Amino acid sequence: MVREIMRDPKFLAQKSTPATEKDKQVAQDLLDTLAAHRSECVGMAANMIGIKKTIIAVTVGFFNVAMINPKIVAKSGEFKTEEGCLSLTGMRPCLRYTDIEVEYLDMNFQPQHKKYSGWTAQIIQHEIDHCNGIII
């Protein structure tokens, strides 16, 4: 189900709680909402649809992927950049890494460990920041 985008900075600044298998529909709603906003958005966190769970959805190539309870376990290639956000207006400076390794659960709650680089790595970092209450 496509959900409304949360734009309240006070809500977005709250840290999300870990997701459980009961939150599988939240992950699906996040994927549906990301697909509905594909012309303006390449990633979302569950708090962007008003749910404080640690779930993100990211466009990886031609596909949208849900990551449940993602954690960056390695990173390299630090750089400074500016990013915008569907939930907020304007651009903000931030620190990112060109290469990351992420552990997460997929939609079937199976553990995954993958490496990402470039634009996809940047999107994942932005969405994980959302889960941690970091406003970008």
Question: How far, in Å, CA of 24 to CA of 67, rounded?
Answer: 11
- Active-site option among 4, 40, 82, 127: 127
Show the tokens assigned to 6: 């949360």
| Number of Cβ within a 10 Å radius of residue 68 | 26
Q: Judge whether 78 counts as a catalytic residue.
A: no
Catalytic sites, residue numbers: 127
